Amino acid sequence: MKEEQSVKNVLITGASRGIGRATAIAFAHAGYRVCINYHLHRAEAEELAAYLRADGAAAEVLQADVADAVAVREMVAQAGEVDVLVNNAGIAGQRLFTDVTEDEWQRMLAVNLTGLFHCAQAVLPGMIHRKKGKIIALSSIWGITGGSCEVAYSAAKAGVIGLVRSLAKEVGPSNIQVNCVAPGVIDTDMNRVLSVADRVALCEETPLMRMGTPEDVARSILFFAGPGGDFITGQVLSPNGGFVI
């Protein structure tokens, strides 16, 4: 019989910054080997890997645009056996629906939704073969409630929830859990475009009276990956401070 693998391997897309970075640190502290995917910010990804290695963790840096199926397949081949996929890479953008161009619409869906299709398709054959694996995808509260001036983003994130629920049913018999984390407003680069007044208003609308931190979200992701997530699949957990109840 094959020996039980001792160190688990997590692939986190979009781990050079924000929620992905905090998630990489959380998984490293939990004893995982961490594969850090980035798209454009190589220096940040390398710096994170060096920080994790200095702390005794195993960390690899893997470049890929998740919208590119070939690049994703190469990345997954380099990652080795992936026990946990955290599909986190994402882009956002505020615009009136009537101003959204065809290219903007296509790119929003390509990164946020098709990126999940590419990454999940690339890791699943190995997971199905081993009859074990966890996929955790990042959606958003806007994928649940809909967001004004974020129609393309909200549509993509709603699609993530639909994909997660359907895939959970399909691969459950192979002992693979597929879940979704749908954060509220989190203090990362993604929200640096907001004015001070908008940030204050968002905090006032949130029962817990603050924006979330990347670490708040990382803890939800780690929960799904750990034994607490073993009998949970097709679910959406929303760390949002009570913004959506």
Q: Which of 79, 75, 220 is nearest to 137 (CA)?
A: 220
- Does 51 participate in catalysis according to the annotation? no
Q: Which residues bind ligand NAP (CB under 6 A)?
A: 13-20, 37-41, 65-67, 88-92, 111, 138, 140, 183, 185-186, 188-191
Cβ contact 52:25 at 8 Å: yes
With respect to ligand NAP, which residue has the nearer C-beta, 26 or 111? 111
Nearest approach in angstroms of CB 87 to ligand NAP is 8
Range list of H helices, the chain: 18-29, 42-54, 69-79, 102-109, 115-130, 141-145, 151-171, 196-205, 214-225
The token duo for 101 is 């161009």
Nearest approach in angstroms of CB 31 to ligand NAP is 23
Whole-angstrom distance, CA of residue 21 vs CA of residue 88: 10
With respect to ligand NAP, which residue has the nearer C-beta, 7 or 193? 193
Q: Around 130, how many Cα atoms within 13 Å sit in the side-chain half-sphere?
A: 16
Give the active site residue among 32, 38, 51, 153: 153
With respect to ligand NAP, which residue has the nearer C-beta, 19 or 161? 19
With respect to ligand NAP, which residue has the nearer C-beta, 154 or 233? 154
Nearest approach in angstroms of CB 131 to ligand NAP is 28
CA angle at 109 for the pair 205 and 125, rounded to the nearest 5°: 110
With respect to ligand NAP, which residue has the nearer C-beta, 127 or 156? 156
Residue tagged 């050079």 (tokens) = 16
Q: Which DSSP helix (H) or strand (E) runs through 180? A: strand 176-181
Helix (H, G, I), strand (E, B) or coil at 186: strand
Nearest approach in angstroms of CB 129 to ligand NAP is 26
3 state SS for 188-222: CHHHCCCCHHHHHHHHHHCCCCCCECHHHHHHHHH
Catalytic machinery residues: 153
